[in-house]
């Protein structure tokens, strides 16, 4: 039998009756009475369900309650309140935002037990989804487009070798994410992953930063320093924006790629280093070579295995699911759960936008919308986008995606957001319906 763990939380009230009853139902009861205890339990134990007993309601306690619930995401909460407490808009908002279900006092133990059982099974399904997502190896790359699937296939292929990889793609498209995936799927996954932005280090310091230095090797070097290449030994070093590397440093990097040794600044001793090099640039390195800004021999040393991360406008069909993913992330960071999703107009605006800043821009706009929105559904204005005037000009894939999302949203609206009835109307299974709703970021009640 699966061990069912439940947090039994009370705000100063004596809750032994509830705890005793739950133990008779084969629950592993973890009674807690303060926020620190909730945190301690979650650090050391995997808990699926929480029961919050609130006998004496007072608005002053709601800050504590929200903090408790916010710190315990992943738990399915069931509340037990006096019916009068639900007159409070604060408590009603918390229930709608955080709770699986609630009961009123006096408790009908049989019904409560059924509710907790449903909550437990829901928690199991969510846990299974997380495991399956990990097993599927999404590489933290959100999306289902052909372009992103092809990139994931290429990453798996290049990850099994130790040859250098050169990643191309526009700024903000996710080149570091691809580099991390290469590392995670390689035999070096247990080793360090060290990311270096070559354009963000002062030219006077970059030699020391990459290769390290000995004590006294230059003014101010009061102690020896380990270089970033040496720090990545046994793992992967990611050299982002490598086109920004000064020409003299390019010579040293070429020597390292050829000989697998480095010299710290101020040292005559060579150090053997076992590290894989993954480099990236948003500029065309072949053009940089032709212009004399990048060494040709270094280019060919790095360009053994080449990958290109697609721009967001090349995979517009991924925008709805990426936006929904970022929305959930931003709401968790900002502790704001009022926003439920994107309006149809907001989704159309996102699908018609050209996304010059790629995925990074999409994240920033969603983050802005979470802060600026005063409504249940995010609008184009919240995103800082104009309303789409000509959806036919955004590409066939994007039009299909918008049409599919609208069809699902309209079907849900016609049947009172009953998923079973909407699925029947659209001629798909309930499981397919849930998958499509997740793909388009459609929660029940959103549209």
pLDDT tens sequence across 291-344: 999 999 999 999 999 999 999 998 888 898 899 888 877 876 554 556 778 888
Do 291 and 174 share a structural domain? Answer: yes
The residue segments making up the domain with residue 361 are: 313-439
**Domain assignment of residue 445, yes or no:** no
What pLDDT does residue 220 have? 66
Q: Give the tens place of pLDDT for each residue, 250-269.
A: 988 998 898 888 878 777 77
Alpha helix stretches (DSSP H) within 145-246: 146-159, 175-184, 203-211, 228-231
> Is 384's pLDDT higher than 90?
yes
Residues 115 and 41 in one domain: yes
The verdict on 277 and 345 lying in the same domain is no
Residues 155 and 286 in one domain: yes
Mean pLDDT, the chain, integer: 82
In this structure, are 301 and 342 located in the same domain? no
Show Cβ contacts of residue 281 under 8 Å, excluding neighbours closer than 6 positions.
166, 167, 168, 240, 241, 242, 243, 288
Is 320 in the same domain as 384?
yes
Q: What is the pLDDT of residues 209-220, one digit of tens each?
A: 888 877 766 666
The pLDDT of residue 19 is above 50: yes
Query: Which residues share a beta bridge with 236?
Result: 193, 276
Residues 153 and 268 placed together within one structural domain of the fold: yes
Kindly state the tokens that stand for 257. 């790629």
Considering the domain architecture, whether residues 304 and 317 belong to the same structural domain is answered as: no
Give yes or no: residues 67 and 185 share one domain.
Answer: no
Q: Which of 261, 287, 310 is the last residue of a domain?
A: 310
180: nearest Cα among 366, 327, 307, 52: 307
* Pairing outcome for strands 236-240 and 341-342: unpaired
- DSSP states along 61-130: GHHHHHHHHHTTTT-EEEEEE-GGGGG-HHHHHHHHHHEEEEEESSP-HHHHHHHHHHHHHHHHHHHHHH
Of the candidates 342, 348, 339, 349, the residue with the CA atom closest to the CA atom of residue 370: 339
Structural domain count of the chain:
3
The answer to whether residue 447 is domain-embedded is no
Task: From 423, 418, 419, 336, select the one nearest 372 (Cα to Cα).
Answer: 336
Specify the CATH number for the domain of residue 87.
3.40.50.2300
- The number of helices, as runs of H, and strands, as runs of E, in the chain is 19, 14
Count Cα atoms within 13 angstroms, Cβ side, for 353: 23
């Amino acid at each position: 039998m699966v061990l069912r763990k439940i947090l039994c939380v009370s705000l100063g009230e004596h809750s032994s009756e509830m705890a005793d009853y739950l133990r008779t139902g084969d629950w592993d009861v973890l009674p807690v009475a303060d926020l620190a205890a909730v945190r301690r339990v979650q650090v050391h134990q995997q808990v699926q369900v929480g029961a919050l007993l609130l006998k004496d309601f007072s608005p002053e306690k709601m800050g504590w309650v929200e903090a408790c619930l916010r710190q315990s995401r992943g738990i399915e909460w069931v509340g037990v309140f006096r019916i009068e407490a639900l007159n409070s808009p604060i408590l009603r908002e918390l229930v709608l935002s955080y709770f699986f279900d609630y009961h009123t006092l006096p408790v009908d133990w049989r019904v409560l037990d059924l509710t907790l059982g449903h909550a437990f099974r829901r928690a199991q399904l969510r846990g299974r989804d997380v495991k399956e997502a990990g097993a599927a190896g999404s590489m933290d790359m959100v999306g289902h487009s052909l372009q992103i699937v092809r990139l994931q296939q290429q990453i798996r292929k290049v990850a099994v070798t130790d040859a250098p990889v050169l990643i191309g793609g526009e700024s903000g498209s996710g080149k570091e994410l691809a580099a991390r995936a290469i590392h995670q799927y390689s035999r070096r996954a247990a080793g360090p992953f060290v990311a270096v932005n070559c354009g963000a280090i002062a030219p006077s310091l970059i030699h020391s930063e990459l290769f390290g230095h000995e004590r006294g090797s230059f003014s101010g070097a009061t102690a020896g320093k380990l270089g970033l290449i040496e720090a990545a030994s046994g793992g992967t070093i990611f050299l982002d924006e490598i086109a920004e590397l000064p020409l003299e440093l390019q010579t040293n990097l070429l020597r390292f790629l050829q000989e697998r040794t480095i010299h710290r600044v101020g040292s005559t001793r060579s150090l053997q280093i076992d590290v894989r090099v993954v480099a990236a640039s948003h500029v065309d390195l072949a053009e940089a070579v032709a212009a004399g800004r990048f060494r040709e021999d270094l280019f060919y040393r790095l360009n053994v295995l080449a990958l290109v991360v697609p721009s967001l406008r090349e995979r517009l069909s991924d925008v709805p699911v990426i936006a929904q993913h970022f929305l959930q992330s931003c709401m968790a960071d900002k502790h704001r759960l009022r926003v439920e999703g994107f309006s149809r107009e907001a989704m159309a605006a996102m699908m018609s936008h050209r996304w010059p800043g790629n995925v990074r821009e999409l994240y920033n706009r969603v983050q802005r919308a979470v802060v600026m929105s005063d409504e249940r559904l995010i609008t184009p204005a919240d995103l800082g986008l104009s309303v789409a005037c000509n959806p036919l000009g955004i590409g066939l894939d994007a039009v299909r995606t918008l049409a599919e999302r609208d069809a699902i949203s309209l079907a849900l609206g016609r049947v009172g957001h009953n998923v079973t009835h909407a699925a029947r109307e659209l001629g798909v299974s309930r499981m397919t319906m849930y998958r499509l709703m997740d793909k388009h970021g459609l929660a029940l009640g959103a549209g």
